[in-house]
Structure 1
């Protein structure tokens, strides 16, 4: 086993998602769990396992990229595509984007209320478990607040015998939820020493600071860009924006000043170096602050099965087509904008593929499969056909042609590679996986990394008027990537840098939400893919545009929050619906 694993198999045997440790004689009673370190560890393991760090271990791991228009999934029947194609109303509810984990909160509250009564556990151990549980509860509230705004803050185990006024709680305000998250994190910081354990999946001091860094940046953005909603429980007063930016700034700076983390910069090849961030695990990665630990077979996921290009040994493959609209964000290493005039993408123009893609930001080349990029020692092909010297075309995937340099290429690529966008997600894919099958991938999911710390710091510093500090932070990121340094920090280039640096890491959708600019990218938009025809006589490509999606995206301003379902509203008479969804 490559690293610490949280007794996941034991925890799954002992705990169900809905009724932890029932008091049936055939199971272990709740009242003895906290008399054993092994059982306590299993209980805590179940809390980690149910916390939403990565949304899925299968096809749905592309959910946030799909709704944020980074990449989509192969087919519209898959949940990520359905998530951006469906309607959001009170009748349809929040759908696959939902996260309403009060069952998880109940079990966290149970630990906090009962572990203190243990007659056998050491007090220092008890305090450490309480601190971990309080972090997970705060993180859970953050996940709910991102989706719904204000939600009820419940810090005790509820019983069906409780008075109605305690059972049917109204929503707290969004500000109160974010303040709760910050205060909980602040209260437990002193319970952790300076030893790092986050890269191995265990919450530590720096994990807690990163929750403050991220959550307070969200709160600040909501205050600065939004305002309080008509129902009073969504939005944050604009006058509080700087106080939240300061909290985010302070938490990020504490991590930076600790000297415990640095940007991964061990390989002179900038593409290889950036790719290695997501394949280097545990304490060997200086950039990882907190990771969700995965291990093939024991607790594996299926990223490689779904993400490998067709033709490289994975039975499903080519599942995450990257949208050209997003590719345009990746500039060229010589400083040129990545947004090539789309009117030039016609059948009458030819392109050197090495310039069109190969000279882009190294983070693009490490994150996206594109025509002729190398994978497992072989080029990946995306062209639909070959144009011969006499002008005729051939599109056989089984026949080959000899190129000008003497190498062989197929006359057309495998069909799944080119089906939607002719570009595929590469980031986090393990090219050394000998068995890219279901449950056979073990790349850890990095929840917090130092690259995000610098990006959070830059954004908070900018709005606090500390523009030199913001500039230094984004230039550390750009220098590591091998991109020209900025001479000035602006809102646009800080946001641009964040979108590129953190691509496919489940940030973009939420960034567009908190910046209140989502409709600009997600409403009345039909995203595009590319079509490649290879010209044998000139060793160039004809590149044209195609529709990547079957319909135009829709995203109204009400979508800054998800709707509560009618069933949830019916369960609690004190709930109010989010703005724009009232029936």
Structure 2
């Protein structure tokens, strides 16, 4: 069936092409035909799904997978030229626009508008099918507007297909206020929720009632944060009045509450907390999943394993996602021990790896490769050299191809160079160790991308509850997350530990950057930072490491910049030239 839909999809795209993103051209097949055959309708809608911004698959071998984590200072990509690093290092301006972070999907919005206008006139479909497609279309349109509003603030709300002869005020619309866009998203999702049945389809990659509630939970929490922490500018084109914060928190809370009564649950199949959290992201169709983007190896696969697998495991292009120590040092120890201060990371101190990393939060251990992490039945190495005594002589090896036999213990002289190029820590989360090692691309990976999962909903609910003066409920949900992770329960809930819990639980899932934006703390967290990695040197005689900090920045002057203007991305010169009614965001004129 998939092959039939893709063939039909190509046909529909060809015959329904448009002159530009907003204007509808006459079709070679009548509009009636598209909405009289389910195959054509499904193919048309499948094209919209295919173009949705769920998982970023841009760049060579899809290295754009790392964009949001790179700009959020979770990890960096292997090379300066890769999309994530270009997104981080670029100078944002009207001339350059939003670059790799840009999203302006009015072509897809036109396609949704076309579906909504056309399907209601169908003579062949029954009302239940029409309602189902309208609900899906409204969810997808709401998602697109959410992705735009969190980047740019207010954007034009275009809710109908425009004819060539439409008046100028429709052809060249002004930007709606940020509040109007969020209110549209809320109402659009309410309409979708009312039309969806109770059937769960999200784990199969189709929008349903619960995906709409999850988007409502997330989007309204964002709107509440903008109202609480930002300032209104440009007559409301950016910013939301502070008096609206509580109302948006309530809307987010209500959507989360509805999901908490819908039969979803935290994934908890293994008593081994590290294994359990790692398996969550490769055990597809589990009880935690609300909505995913579906992938199948080869037929509709991706290159995640090719890019993420450490060097030394037969992946031809490997070790791309190099995790910053700045991010992972905040993960807590399971036994409540204090985190190790940076002042102790000197050559005067030595560390056992179990002492340094091996007793940290299981979510960290399941998400990051660090020295001696066992992967595919052998350790991953991150040390730059090994010192050992051989026949009374102290020797040093920096050779990754040397295997030292030390009283029967076999040890690699040094790590492979890509593993230690920048930070000596690598992304592990979402890698599937049961798959064959990727060698030369070809989209071997088939892990689904989790757009919404229940863990996020509990955190959304906790945050909204906290600001609605329901601290008891917030604490309960934070502790549900921590209990699943095997971490000590909190005795009180604060703004800081709610935010930290999101960083720990949702790490590397494309949340942190947007959270720092909506809380308006990105200028504090990201600006003026010289990012750090670690340098490991191993002593075979003592079975201990010296661990020191190393500069992980790519570009001079090796310090990140994030000014207040970056809370909104710039509209490009091309957009403004095409529509003189679009006002630029503050700080980019």
TM-score normalised by structure 2 residue count: 0.94
Report if the CA contact (8 A) 2:278-2:429 is conserved: yes
Q: How many residues align?
A: 574
CA distance, structure 2, for counterparts of residue 496 and residue 465 of structure 1: 19
CA distance, structure 2, for counterparts of residue 409 and residue 275 of structure 1: 27
- Encode CA deviations 1:409-438: one digit per residue, 9 max, x unaligned: 111111111111011000001111114233
Instruction: Indicate which of 205, 208, 232 corresponds to 1:204.
Output: 208
Q: Quick check: 438-447 or 505-514, which moved more?
A: 438-447
Q: CA separation of 1:24/1:579 partners in 2, compared to 1, >3 Å: closer, same or farther?
A: closer
Q: Which residue of 2 aligns with 1:245?
A: 249
Instruction: Indicate which of 409, 424, 427 corresponds to 1:425.
Output: 427
Deviation at residue 120 of structure 1 after TM alignment: 1.3
In the alignment, structure 1 residue 400 sits paired with structure 2 residue 403 = yes
In the alignment, structure 1 residue 234 sits paired with structure 2 residue 206 = no
* SS of 1:249 mapped into structure 2: helix
Q: Which residue of 2 aligns with 1:150?
A: 154
* SS of 1:117 mapped into structure 2: coil
Instruction: Indicate which of 134, 138, 159 corresponds to 2:138.
Output: 134
CA distance, structure 1, for counterparts of residue 30 and residue 301 of structure 2: 30
CA distance, structure 1, for counterparts of residue 135 and residue 80 of structure 2: 42
Deviation at residue 525 of structure 1 after TM alignment: 0.8
Q: CA separation of 1:346/1:12 partners in 2, compared to 1, >3 Å: closer, same or farther?
A: farther
Q: Which residue of 2 aligns with 1:276?
A: 279
TM-score normalised by structure 1 residue count: 0.95
Aligned pairs for 1:480-491 (under 5 A) are 480-491=484-495
* SS of 1:334 mapped into structure 2: coil
CA distance, structure 2, for counterparts of residue 166 and residue 147 of structure 1: 23
Question: Tell me, which stretches of 5 or more residues in structure 1 are unaligned?
Answer: none
Aligned pairs for 1:42-441 (under 5 A) are 42-56=43-57, 58-258=62-262, 260-282=263-285, 285-338=286-339, 340-389=340-389, 390-403=393-406, 406-436=408-438, 437-441=441-445
CA distance, structure 2, for counterparts of residue 270 and residue 49 of structure 1: 35
* SS of 2:321 mapped into structure 1: coil
Report if the CA contact (8 A) 1:227-1:235 is conserved: yes
Report if the CA contact (8 A) 2:298-2:442 is conserved: no
In the alignment, structure 1 residue 575 sits paired with structure 2 residue 579 = no
Question: Tell me, which stretches of 5 or more residues in structure 2 are unaligned?
Answer: none
Deviation at residue 7 of structure 1 after TM alignment: 3.6
* SS of 1:47 mapped into structure 2: helix
CA-atom RMSD in angstroms = 1.9
CA distance, structure 2, for counterparts of residue 6 and residue 371 of structure 1: 48
CA distance, structure 2, for counterparts of residue 424 and residue 13 of structure 1: 43
Deviation at residue 6 of structure 1 after TM alignment: 9.8
CA distance, structure 2, for counterparts of residue 377 and residue 435 of structure 1: 13
In the alignment, structure 1 residue 505 sits paired with structure 2 residue 509 = yes
* SS of 2:207 mapped into structure 1: coil
CA distance, structure 2, for counterparts of residue 418 and residue 575 of structure 1: 46
Report if the CA contact (8 A) 1:23-1:29 is conserved: no
Q: CA separation of 1:442/1:574 partners in 2, compared to 1, >3 Å: closer, same or farther?
A: same
Report if the CA contact (8 A) 1:291-1:444 is conserved: yes
Report if the CA contact (8 A) 1:403-1:539 is conserved: no
* SS of 1:158 mapped into structure 2: coil
Q: Which residue of 1 aligns with 2:446?
A: 442
Report if the CA contact (8 A) 1:23-1:30 is conserved: no
CA distance, structure 1, for counterparts of residue 276 and residue 331 of structure 2: 17
* SS of 1:72 mapped into structure 2: strand
* SS of 1:512 mapped into structure 2: helix
CA distance, structure 2, for counterparts of residue 379 and residue 366 of structure 1: 14
* SS of 2:75 mapped into structure 1: coil
Deviation at residue 23 of structure 1 after TM alignment: 7.9
CA distance, structure 1, for counterparts of residue 78 and residue 32 of structure 2: 48
In the alignment, structure 1 residue 15 sits paired with structure 2 residue 13 = yes
* SS of 2:386 mapped into structure 1: strand
Report if the CA contact (8 A) 1:5-1:293 is conserved: no
- Encode CA deviations 1:6-40: one digit per residue, 9 max, x unaligned: 94464245426992799899x75544111111111
Q: Which residue of 2 aligns with 1:558?
A: 565
CA distance, structure 2, for counterparts of residue 78 and residue 440 of structure 1: 21
Report if the CA contact (8 A) 2:18-2:25 is conserved: no
Q: CA separation of 1:24/1:315 partners in 2, compared to 1, >3 Å: closer, same or farther?
A: farther
